[in-house]
Structure 1
Amino acid sequence: MSETRSKARARHRRRKTALVVGVPLALSAAGAMAYGGVFGMFGADAQPKASAATATPAWATATADGFASVNALGQNGTYGGRDGKTVTVKTLADLEKYATATDPYVIVVAAAITMDPVGKEIKVASNKTIIGSGTSGHIVGGGFFLGQGVHNVIIRNLTIRDAYQGVWNDKEHDYDGIQMDGAHHVWIDHNDIRHMADGLIDSRKDTTYLTVSYNKLSNENKAFGIGWTDNTTADITIHHNWIRETQQRNPSTDNVAHAHLYNNYLEDEPGTDITSAYGNYARGNTNMVLQNSYFSGMNNPVVRDSTATLKQSGNVFSGTSGKNESGGTGASWDPKSYYSYTLDKAADVPALLKSGSGPRSSLGTTTASTTAATGTTLTVAADGTGQYKTVQAAVDAVPANNTARVTISVKPGTYRETVKVPSNKPHVTIQGTGGSRKDTVIVYNNAAGTKKADGTTYGTTGSATMAVEADDFQARNLTVSNDFDEKAHQDISAQAVALRTAADKVFLDSVIITGDQDTLELDSASSAALGRVYVRNSYVVGNVDFIFGRATAVVDHSVITLKKRWDGSSAGFVTAPSTAANRKGFLINNTTVNGDVTAASFFLGRNWHASGDATLKPQTTVRNSSLSAAIKSTPWSDMGGFSWKADRFAEYKNTGAGSGAASSDRPQLTDTQAADQTVAAWLGDWTPTAS
């Protein structure tokens, strides 16, 4: 066994640079978004490669992470068909034509394609990217087959479904979603695979350098089988997948030299017809590292053969029973010796994957044709490989009063600077290009009491690391931070804003916004102006009034993380709205509120009557969200001599240890009231879309 491990290790050559990969809009992020391009304009005909004047969409050039990124077997990572033409297909004939071709292709599936006959598996050739166009790409009644030696294949953003033939444990129909026999360098990402006849994914016969990420695997007897060989040579990464209502092979991992499973969510819902037999299974001579995954209701959540080696760390088991095993005598190994990766907290995984796994509307698509025709992309790289070295320099290059979308594409790195997008530069997107929103960080450390060169102080508003004053702004797949050190500067005012918005139609998508006091200021251009902000699939981190302002804002399908104060104490307020009486304030919807803080130490909010203005009517509604035990049983607080009960604070159908029943100290919306307090009601005539 040790000799086999040594030979396997020698095959690898580590990549020296960070990889550009697509991360889900769930909180880590779907980094590969759709910008520019000409999709949808030419039907099923081949699309021309982007010219110098037209930016290639990030998803068309995305590369894999995990073991699929490793240089080996003559293949340098996994990048699919990026070197070939891009084609859009809507028929089975066209899909098969391009998928089986010898040339590289990026194949955009823009319709529901029904396999004929049922169970057909298209034999995909090397150097292909097959990607669904938004959520419209469906493969119905069949799937894909990657045979011996097929390599450099990406299958993304598809719904593969419904080859089921009515027999639960079907021994007759080998109809899989994706089957691989002896392939290498394959990336399976952001798919929804369900209700097939045999299994959803089969990785067989020494298939190796495989990464499976951000997929939804559901409603099936067999989810994901790996093995069918006595050899122990395969190297596989399985991360951020939501595997639910599947009986077995979740996955079953047989004779895998290096199996790295992390941040997966395995769920067996109670009271259904499908009952799990086991969860993650290390079989044969497998050497598995299992990290920060979440197991809910699973029977036998982690199983190990006596010949296998399985090392666990950081996993969460909720309502599980039966075997939960680890151990073995195989050689210890560290995934970071092969590739870089970042672990999410296991407790955050369910919320992250419920919102972030499966097909993304932003992948495989572009937005308005006007953007495709006239949009511009500016590149930023701290190492000098982009057009600009700082984000602010790229913002400065945006023409005043521009009418078309300008995307500022920021390469991974830490950018210690302040950024201001002025009001005369609308339609700007700032997008990190890394594999995680943690890869691209814009950070500074001004606080309200920090002195400027002229001796005056910045004040709360002026302390922002990033200030957005332009309408129709978007930020995506990056971190904005204020790292002001409160402990070291107890002599000055500690409000320190990471991100301030003072504009309308601001879309913060798959970002991390982190600080301590006053992290995220959601404002408007003036007291009379409407300022709408939509925060989706993101993290907001702080402790005191860290979501505050007068904007009409939604925090949707996100994670709000409570943070201890500089002295280690736990006390704070999530929101501090200062809403005008004729406006809507803050809506927190389908979001998790958690953090490593003391139980019953945080309020959901307090009513900020800015400048003592009694005409204001602050509003926060928290609905359909999961509240940790950190939230007080009386979750609202007075501020500045004004009673919160005279303003607008309420909850609706929240869950978790921090939720509670209706009382005079804990108002709950009725169903009728809740029907008027929705995301659509908050945003009005604006529907945020990635652009």
Structure 2
Amino acid sequence: MSRTRFSGRRIAIASSAVAAALAAPAAIVALVTPAGAAVAPVNGGTYTLASGSSGKCVVVTGAGTDNGARLAQVQCDSTAADQQFRAVSQNGAYGLVNVNSGKCVDVPNFSTTPGEQLWQWTCGTSTNQTWTLSPSTVADRYLIRSNHNNLCASNKDGSTAGNNPIIQEPCSDTARMQWRFNPTGSTPTTPPTTTPPSSGTPTVASDGSGTYRTVQEAIDAVPANNTTRRVITIKPGTYRQVVRVSSNKPHITLQGLGSSPSNTTIVYNNSAHTSGTSGSASMFVDGANFVAENLTISNDYDENTYETGDQAVALHLNADRAVLRNVRLLGDQDTFLVNDRTRAYVVSSYVEGTTDFIFGGGTIVFNASTIHEKRSTGGTITAASTDAAKTYGFLFYRSTITGAGSNNTNLGRPWRQGAQVLYRESTLSNTIKNAQPWTNMGDATWQNARFLEYRNTGSGAAVNSNRPQLSDSQAATYTPQRYLAGTDGWNPM
């Protein structure tokens, strides 16, 4: 989709094994689990926590939503929101967020006293809300250790009684401190990995140690209209080039081989000033079933270079059934174009920019990802142009919205009247304008757009007349699965 309406001017919007695990530093323990043990909870997953001694589940007493509501155990009900806890990656370990209240499992007043009953409190990232999950010697069970005091969550005395307190006590691999993380129906499963063996020749390496020196050469070598997954592995380094995955190159995976996405970067610096907005991308993807993993896609054009033509796209995505996993998208204005043909799932990723930096008419779900407004004077995160006939546009699901400024960033504005954007069960930092986070674009007004929120938390979250909210019954039709299903039932989660 052309975006020339703004290209001519500057936008101003502004056992021994367990003993070793428990002795580990505050980090997610490398979960080499005992034979038959369940996989670790995933970032963004929602679970009931069942006691190994009673089989009952952790609950916030009285379904309380206030700070200080205590934790106890009751008969498990996987559909009860006050028994559901979302795992959120933080400080190298996890926070545990109660779905009903939006508050986090917390050590009261930073206590170090064994026997203290745990409670919930407004979520932060301090050590008394950070928990390391260590595999038990018993299959499918984990110990939940506080990163603040190294004490473990425990079903007091191993009781089977309902409403028995959940306390902290010195860790040991006993039944009362063993917990099963049972996924609820809304829990995303880890997408299939395509990680190659650590040895062998990478597909792409700029130093000549790979099969090809550039990413584009490797893509060009894939047969047109191929029907099988082609994994192109990319050696760590910076690849300054424009990359194109055309519509006749489906089923391509681009995978960085570094220890983090920052190790492998595809970057260029075209802009709307020279190439038009939609033509400025560092990477264009039209091929269906595209996957990107563990890499960075960047446009390093400086928006202060010229007075006009500041738009500079990192990724122009116009592909059906695309998945971005552990990817960074970096830019200034208009970082990520989600064009009309797009249906995409973005998980455990990071997107940053200044103005309208996620925009377009496609359908996309961001799950357990971080969205960052990097301009200290604020800006607008989304400029959706969802066609009015299309039910679903942009969904930010259990993600984190951050920024360099305070109370000066908009959640979005409608590039086309009828644009659809939902922030659901996400953490909004104080960068978001609290009183009125939506704004207009030209003749398109935010009130006539389909801008929604649901059960968000954080200092940037609020409920008022300028912040339309989904009801619980409506929320059932605005799940990630509904956004992505289309007519073929696609479910990358």
Counterparts in 2 of 1:377-396, with a 5 A limit?
A: 379-396=203-220
Per-residue displacement from partner, 1:278-311 (whole Å, max 9, x unpaired)?
Answer: 9xxxxxxxxxxxxxx84135899489xxxxxxxx
Q: Check if 1:490 corresponds to 2:314.
A: no
Distance in 1 separating the partners of 2:315 and 2:340: 13
Name the Cα RMSD after superposition: 3.8
Amino acid at match of 1:648: R
Amino acid at match of 1:471: A
Change over 3 Å in CA distance of 1:442–1:510 after alignment to 2: same
Distance in 2 separating the partners of 1:379 and 1:491: 41
Distance in 1 separating the partners of 2:147 and 2:484: 45
Amino acid at match of 1:511: V
Secondary structure at the aligned position of 1:480 is classed as strand
Change over 3 Å in CA distance of 1:159–1:655 after alignment to 2: farther
- Matching residue of 1:682: 483
Distance in 1 separating the partners of 2:278 and 2:232: 24
Question: How many percent identity over aligned positions?
Answer: 42
Deviation at 1:492, TM superposition (A): 3.7
Per-residue displacement from partner, 1:33-88 (whole Å, max 9, x unpaired)?
Answer: xxxxxxxxxxxxxxxxxxxxxxxxxxxxxxxxxxxxxxxxxxxxxxxxxxxxxxxx
Q: Pick from 92, 103, 116: which aligns with 1:240? A: 92
Deviation at 1:630, TM superposition (A): 1.0
Question: How many residues in Structure 1 have an aligned counterpart in Structure 2?
Answer: 354
Deviation at 1:241, TM superposition (A): 3.1
Q: Check if 1:400 corresponds to 2:224.
A: yes
Deviation at 1:144, TM superposition (A): 10
Per-residue displacement from partner, 1:426-481 (whole Å, max 9, x unpaired)?
Answer: 0000010110011001111110112xxxxxxx100110001101111010100001
Q: Pick from 449, 454, 466: which aligns with 1:652? A: 454
Change over 3 Å in CA distance of 1:155–1:578 after alignment to 2: closer
Q: Check if 1:553 corresponds to 2:390.
A: no
Q: Check if 1:643 corresponds to 2:454.
A: no
Secondary structure at the aligned position of 1:518 is classed as coil
Distance in 1 separating the partners of 2:276 and 2:415: 17
Per-residue displacement from partner, 1:226-278 (whole Å, max 9, x unpaired)?
Answer: xxxxxxxxxxxxx8233889xxxxxxxxxxxxxxxxxxxxx862579x97559
Q: Pick from 384, 406, 409: which aligns with 1:602? A: 409
Per-residue displacement from partner, 1:488-530 (whole Å, max 9, x unpaired)?
Answer: x2244010000011111111111000101000000134xxxxx
Q: Check if 1:158 corresponds to 2:33.
A: yes
Q: Check if 1:506 corresponds to 2:322.
A: yes
Contact preservation (8 Å) 1:620, 1:648: yes
Amino acid at match of 2:255: Q
Distance in 1 separating the partners of 2:359 and 2:189: 32
Q: Check if 1:459 corresponds to 2:303.
A: no
Secondary structure at the aligned position of 1:461 is classed as coil
Amino acid at match of 1:647: A
Distance in 2 separating the partners of 1:271 and 1:244: 15
Amino acid at match of 1:519: T
Contact preservation (8 Å) 1:157, 1:360: no
Secondary structure at the aligned position of 2:278 is classed as helix
Change over 3 Å in CA distance of 1:402–1:195 after alignment to 2: same
TM-score norm. by structure 2 comes to 0.64
Contact preservation (8 Å) 1:441, 1:479: yes
Q: Which sections of structure 2, spanning at least 5 residues, go unmatched?
A: 1-14, 22-28, 54-71, 73-90, 98-103, 115-124, 131-145, 151-187
- Matching residue of 1:621: 422
Secondary structure at the aligned position of 1:634 is classed as coil
Secondary structure at the aligned position of 1:393 is classed as helix
Counterparts in 2 of 1:231-380, with a 5 A limit?
A: 240-242=92-94, 269-270=106-107, 276-277=112-113, 294-297=126-129, 301=148, 360=190, 362=192, 379-380=203-204
Per-residue displacement from partner, 1:351-381 (whole Å, max 9, x unpaired)?
Answer: xxxxxxx995546999xxxxxxxxxx97101
Distance in 2 separating the partners of 1:364 and 1:413: 20
Change over 3 Å in CA distance of 1:449–1:159 after alignment to 2: farther
Distance in 2 separating the partners of 1:480 and 1:467: 11
Distance in 2 separating the partners of 1:532 and 1:637: 25
Q: Check if 1:578 corresponds to 2:385.
A: yes
- Matching residue of 2:183: none
Q: Check if 1:669 corresponds to 2:480.
A: no
Distance in 2 separating the partners of 1:145 and 1:475: 35
Contact preservation (8 Å) 2:95, 2:129: no
